[in-house]
């Protein structure tokens, strides 16, 4: 499996793009503003979107993607997530007031988009590639994802704060190659991180202490203008893990 980082920022401005990961040519994990950099030909190939949660920086490109490709595809785009998350998308995005309900047009039987419910802990197999929703701890219903190529594995935390279940999953996962984990705020904004259920460097260090195996740690979702400060604090407090910044354009292979 080839994972390309389309967006990894906690905000926009200049060349910054919000969260989106492309898996091979046909799957997205979240669909933030980074999806907008794909060509039309690349957009048409997207068959599946796995959503971590309903916040705009993670789902903003789904409505535009579906609207763009509807006349160029013969099968629907499948949006995967838990029942709670999908219901939020139905109620607040694809409700005809914000955007058309593409799960109903042109008819429910021939819809341009399909919502497909998944359950935490139960893998979804797409051509031998497995995607498993794992627990996240955020201010709205949320999950992370475990990606399994059959040879090695990657965990993407999604947006989360303190999350013992994440580390239990990581410690129990064989051949785990990468953990992509958010750290949205520097320590001077720890109170905001706690209130919004994100992480800051001191909290990340406390979380990484729960990990009992060598894994490459990639940090995502940093706020624009605070990247250097946040990564410096991570280096001081979680340096033994040698965390790296997840950057747009990176390609990870599992």
Q: Which domain holds residue 91?
A: 2-248
Q: Number of helices (H) and strands (E) in the chain: give both, helices first.
A: 8, 14
Tokens at 219, concatenated: 């940090």
| pLDDT tens string 170-200 | 999 999 999 999 999 999 999 999 999 999 9
Tokens at 185, concatenated: 């705020």
pLDDT of residue 239: 86
pLDDT of residue 191: 98
Rounded Cα distance between 30 and 206, Å, is 26
- Number of domains making up the chain: 1
Low-confidence ranges of the chain (pLDDT < 70): none
- Residues of the chain with pLDDT > 90, as a percent, come to 99
**Does residue 254 sit within a domain?**
no
Q: SS in 3 state form for 123-146?
A: CEEECCEEEEEEECCCCCCCEEEE
**Does residue 215 sit within a domain?**
yes
| pLDDT tens string 194-237 | 999 999 999 999 999 999 999 999 999 999 999 999 999 999 99
**Does residue 99 sit within a domain?**
yes
Neighbouring residues of 97: CB distance < 8 A, sequence distance ≥ 6: none
Predicted TM-score (pTM) above 0.95 = yes
**Does residue 239 sit within a domain?**
yes
| CATH number where 57 lies | 3.60.15.10
**Does residue 90 sit within a domain?**
yes
pLDDT of residue 122: 97
């Amino acid at each position: 499996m080839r994972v390309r980082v389309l967006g990894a920022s906690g905000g926009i401005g200049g060349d910054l793009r919000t969260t989106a990961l492309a898996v091979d040519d046909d799957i997205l994990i979240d669909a933030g503003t980074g999806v907008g950099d794909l060509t039309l030909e690349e957009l048409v190939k997207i068959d599946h979107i796995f959503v971590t949660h309903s916040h705009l920086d993670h789902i903003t490109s789904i409505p535009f993607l579906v609207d763009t490709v509807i006349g160029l595809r013969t099968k629907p785009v499948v949006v995967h997530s838990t029942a709670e998350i999908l219901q939020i998308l139905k109620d607040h995005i694809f409700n005809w007031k914000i955007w058309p309900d593409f799960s109903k047009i042109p008819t429910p039987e021939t819809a341009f988009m399909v919502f497909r419910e998944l359950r935490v802990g139960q893998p979804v197999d797409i051509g031998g590639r497995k995607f498993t929703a794992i627990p996240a701890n955020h201010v709205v219903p949320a999950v992370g994802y475990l990606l399994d190529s059959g040879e090695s594995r990657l965990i993407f935390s999604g947006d989360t704060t303190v999350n013992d279940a994440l580390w239990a999953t990581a410690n129990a996962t064989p051949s785990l190659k990468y953990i992509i984990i958010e750290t949205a705020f520097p320590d001077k904004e720890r109170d905001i991180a706690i209130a919004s259920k994100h992480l800051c460097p001191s909290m990340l260090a406390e979380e990484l202490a729960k990990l009992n195996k060598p894994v490459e740690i990639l940090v995502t979702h940093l706020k624009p203008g605070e990247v250097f400060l946040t990564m410096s604090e991570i280096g001081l407090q979680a340096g033994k893990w040698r965390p790296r910044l997840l950057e747009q354009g990176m390609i990870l292979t599992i």
